[in-house]
Amino acid sequence: MAVLREVVGETLRGLRLRQRRTLREVSSQARVSLGYLSEVERGQKEASSELLASIVSALNVDLSDLFVEVSSQLRRREKLERLEPVRHFSNTSPTSHDFGRLAA
């Protein structure tokens, strides 16, 4: 299952790299520590809405546009996950995760 903080981080990193900007530039402009921004981009930290607003402002992007891109990425990943073959386990009772795949 796709983890929201990872998709947000990947999306932020993609935006920054497309602008050919460094972590240092964006962290300075967003007033966020370089280390913390790096952790957010790697999906290790879940950023608050205030922090996200500061980062996207530094990237000259609307917060709503970030969420549109994140939503699109999540939708693609969920569709791919549904296409994966159902795993078969040696135990007799499927997990709740398996029920979700079977229902798709």
Q: What is the pLDDT of residues 26-80, one digit of tens each?
A: 999 999 999 999 999 999 999 999 999 999 999 999 999 999 999 999 999 888 8
Q: Give 3's pLDDT tier (boundaries 50, 70, 90).
A: confident
Q: How far apart are CA 69 and CA 59, in angstroms?
A: 14
Distance, in Å, from the CA atom of 40 to the CA atom of 34, rounded to the nearest integer, reads: 10
Q: How confident is the model at residue 81 (pLDDT cuts 50, 70, 90)?
A: confident
103: confidence class by pLDDT, cuts 50, 70, 90: very low
